[in-house]
């Protein structure tokens, strides 16, 4: 066994510091909660090659991944709602993104409800008086 | 002047939250059966809700995170979901009770069947949430709710035997004709009415709606320590009125007209109209708070965009969830079920659900990642732990006592 390399930066525990934290967009608008993470460089059920580069977090998953995290199983890839990790700018008590939430595919449900239901009720697109 | 308005959030949560349909009904029922023999529970409840709301207000102001975001983050998705389900369903029961309460108050004023008022009340609740600014909504219902002081005035006008009232309050215990289990059942109901979980969802989310920062903490403290004891005094006055008028006549409280009967006897029509306005404002305010709380809890668990400070279309799922909750409440009430009965159950289940939200807040209030150097001091942790024991004891005992006493029959 090699001794574990001492990390140089801040150590983040995925369970403790990332999962189930609120994700906010560039303007502080809630986008989702970090329901699950996608790891790349590691295959489920395949023994890990000791020479392989360490896996990395490639995306925050949301939507159907919340249900599978509670009840087990995996959602089909086509139904995944993914926020690429490269958009993340800050991890604190919340996870901040560097883009506007409206630009993300993962917020389509919010946009759909806003455009087709809430936005059609009179006053739905105005600031409260 | 601004500071005076700042206390309004506390006053609203006191009047519309501390005194809501649950307190009105439970205090009158308890007063008509035990006199002031359970007044001590109101005191315990007032101190408890002060501790609890102060902590959650502080957590919200310092960390910027509302109660259910924290519950989800600490408990994870599974236990968080179980917690959400319990809290949300009990809150929905409370929404139903409050909208029913608004309808009953309107019935008192107009003698029109409450079932006809239910859709009107529900629409009014929705339109206010849809269009009215948060600050306006809390100030108007808060100020109108202050007319409930008429219960305290009525108690003086009835010129009761203060000695015997004090005697009831200072010698707690079941009277000879009531079983001890019934006494403790109503103690828990009264505790649940005083410490309803939605008050905390509303208080912590309201702090974020009003964009509190650490500087607003003094305001928060003032809100809590002025607002809630005021609500407690009104609660005891309601019980006192019932103790003076209804207890000797052995009148059972089964409707709002019995709750206001002592006020009418003491002050006639003028006092009665004040009481009706007060009840209307308190139940309407609480209907707004509970409906908002149902949206807050769901949105915060799932991480949706929420808040009244946004346009509805920018917090679409939050608003859709609240519309559905109001419709469900209307559906329940249109079956003709008595809102008073729903109220009596909702306060007991509130006591059952309390540890679910209390414990995570207590833990986060000690977490330096969220709170920096604003973590709980020793005194706060001591009293917080004492209340944790009380809350858990009440939650564990509630359902067995509910069954044994047949809901206090």
pLDDT digits (tens, 9 = 90+) for B348-372: 999 999 999 899 899 999 999 889 8
Sheet containing strand A56-62, edge to edge, reads: A36-40, A56-62, A81-84
CA B106 to chain centre: 20
Contact A30 B314 (CB under 8 A): no
The residue behind tokens 């948060």 is B134
Q: Is the pTM of this model over 0.80?
A: yes
What is the tens place of the pLDDT at every residue in B88-135? 999 999 999 999 999 999 999 999 999 999 999 999 999 999 998 887
Walking along chain B (409 residues) 10 residues at a time, the average pLDDT comes out as 61 64 93 93 93 88 89 91 94 96 95 94 96 82 84 93 90 82 94 88 86 78 79 92 93 92 93 94 92 96 92 94 97 94 93 91 90 90 96 95 87
Yes or no: say if B39 and B171 are a contact pair by the CB < 8 Å rule: no
| Pairing, β A22-24 against β A56-62 | unpaired
Q: How many CB pairs under 8 A join A and B?
A: 97
Distance CA B69, CA B85 (A): 14
Dihedral sign computed on CA atoms, order B246, B247, B249, B252: positive
Domains of chain A by residue range: 14-43+53-120
Query: Can you give the pLDDT at residue B284?
Result: 94
Contact A70 B134 (CB under 8 A): no
Closest Cα to residue B45, out of B182, B179, B199?
B199
Yes or no: say if B174 and B182 are a contact pair by the CB < 8 Å rule: yes
The residue behind tokens 């009179």 is A122
Strands of B84-227 (E only): list them: none
Contact B131 A94 (CB under 8 A): no
Q: Which CATH superfamily is domain A14-43+53-120 in?
A: PRC-barrel domain (2.30.30.240)
Query: Can you give the pLDDT at residue B335?
Result: 95
B358 touches chain A (CB under 8 A): no
Q: Which residue has the higher pLDDT, A41 or A89?
A: A89
User: Which residue, among A26, A106, A113, A119, would best test binding to B if mutated, counting the most B CBs under 10 Å from its CB?
Assistant: A113
User: Can you read off the two tokens belonging to residue B358?
Assistant: 């209390």
* Shortest alpha-carbon distance between residue A45 and chain B (Å): 24
Query: Can you give the pLDDT at residue A97?
Result: 95
Query: Can you give the pLDDT at residue B10?
Result: 58
Query: Can you give the pLDDT at residue B19?
Result: 86
Contact B77 A21 (CB under 8 A): no
Q: Which CATH class is domain B2-404?
A: mainly alpha
Instruction: Report the residue from B64, B72, B311 with minimal CB separation from A20.
Output: B72
| Pairing, β A81-84 against β A36-40 | unpaired
Query: Can you give the pLDDT at residue B239?
Result: 95
pLDDT higher than 70, residue A4: no
* Shortest alpha-carbon distance between residue B356 and chain A (Å): 18
> Which residues, 6 or more positions from A56, have their beta carbon under 8 angstroms from its beta carbon?
A39, A40, A41, A85
Domains of chain B by residue range: 2-404
Q: What is the mean pLDDT of residues A75-91?
A: 89
User: Which residue, among A30, A67, A81, A112, would best test binding to B if mutated, counting the most B CBs under 10 Å from its CB?
Assistant: A30
Q: ipTM of this predicted complex?
A: 0.89
Helices (H), B210-338: 217-245, 256-302, 316-334
Yes or no: say if B72 and B80 are a contact pair by the CB < 8 Å rule: yes
């Amino acid at each position: 066994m090699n001794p574990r390399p001492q990390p140089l930066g801040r150590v983040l525990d995925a369970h403790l510091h990332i999962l189930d934290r609120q994700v906010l967009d560039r303007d502080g608008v809630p986008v989702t909660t970090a329901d699950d993470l996608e790891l790349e460089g590691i295959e489920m059920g395949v023994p890990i090659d000791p020479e392989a580069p360490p896996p990395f977090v490639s995306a925050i998953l949301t939507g159907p991944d919340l249900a599978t995290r509670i009840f087990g199983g995996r959602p089909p890839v086509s139904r995944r709602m993914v926020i690429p990790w490269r958009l993340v700018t800050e991890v604190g008590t919340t996870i901040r993104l560097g883009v506007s939430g409206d630009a993300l595919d993962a917020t389509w449900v919010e946009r759909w409800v806003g455009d087709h239901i809430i936005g059609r009720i009179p006053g739905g697109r105005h600031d409260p008086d | 002047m601004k500071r005076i308005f700042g206390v309004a959030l506390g006053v609203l949560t006191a009047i519309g939250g501390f005194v809501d349909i649950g307190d009105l009904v439970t205090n009158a029922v308890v007063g008509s059966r035990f006199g002031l023999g359970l007044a001590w529970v109101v005191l315990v409840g007032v101190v408890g809700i002060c501790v609890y709301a102060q902590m959650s207000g502080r957590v919200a102001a310092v960390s910027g995170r509302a109660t259910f975001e924290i519950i989800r983050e600490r408990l994870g998705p599974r236990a968080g979901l179980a917690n959400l389900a319990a809290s949300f369903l009990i809150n929905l029961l409370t929404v139903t009770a409050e909208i029913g309460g608004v309808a009953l108050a309107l019935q008192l004023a107009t003698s029109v069947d409450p079932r006809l008022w239910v859709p009107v009340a529900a629409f009014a609740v929705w339109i206010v949430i849809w269009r009215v600014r948060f600050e306006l909504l809390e100030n108007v219902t808060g100020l109108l709710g202050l007319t409930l002081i008429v219960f305290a005035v009525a108690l003086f006008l009835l010129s009761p035997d203060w000695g015997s009232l004090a005697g009831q309050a200072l010698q707690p215990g079941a009277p000879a004709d009531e079983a001890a289990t019934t006494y403790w059942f109503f103690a828990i109901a009264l505790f649940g009415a005083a410490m309803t979980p939605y008050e905390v969802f509303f208080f912590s989310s309201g702090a974020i709606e009003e964009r509190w920062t650490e500087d607003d903490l003094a305001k928060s403290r003032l809100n809590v320590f002025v607002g809630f004891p005021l609500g407690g005094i009104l609660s005891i006055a309601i019980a006192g009125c019932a103790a003076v008028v209804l207890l000797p006549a052995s009148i059972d409280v089964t409707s709002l007209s019995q709750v206001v009967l002592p006020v009418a006897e003491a002050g006639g029509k003028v006092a009665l109209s004040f009481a009706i306005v007060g009840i209307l404002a308190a139940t309407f305010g609480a209907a707004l708070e509970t409906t908002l709380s149902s949206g807050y809890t769901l949105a915060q668990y799932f991480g949706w965009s929420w808040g009244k400070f946004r346009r509805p279309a920018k917090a679409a799922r939050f608003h859709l969830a609240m519309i559905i909750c109001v419709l469900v409440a209307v559906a329940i009430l249109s079956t003709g079920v008595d809102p008073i009965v729903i109220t009596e159950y909702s306060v007991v289940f509130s006591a059952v659900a309390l540890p679910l939200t209390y414990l995570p807040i207590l833990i986060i209030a000690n977490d330096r990642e969220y709170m920096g150097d604003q973590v709980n001091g020793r005194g706060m942790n001591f009293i917080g732990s004492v209340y944790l024991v009380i809350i858990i004891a009440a939650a564990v005992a509630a359902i067995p006592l509910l069954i044994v006493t047949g809901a206090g029959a």
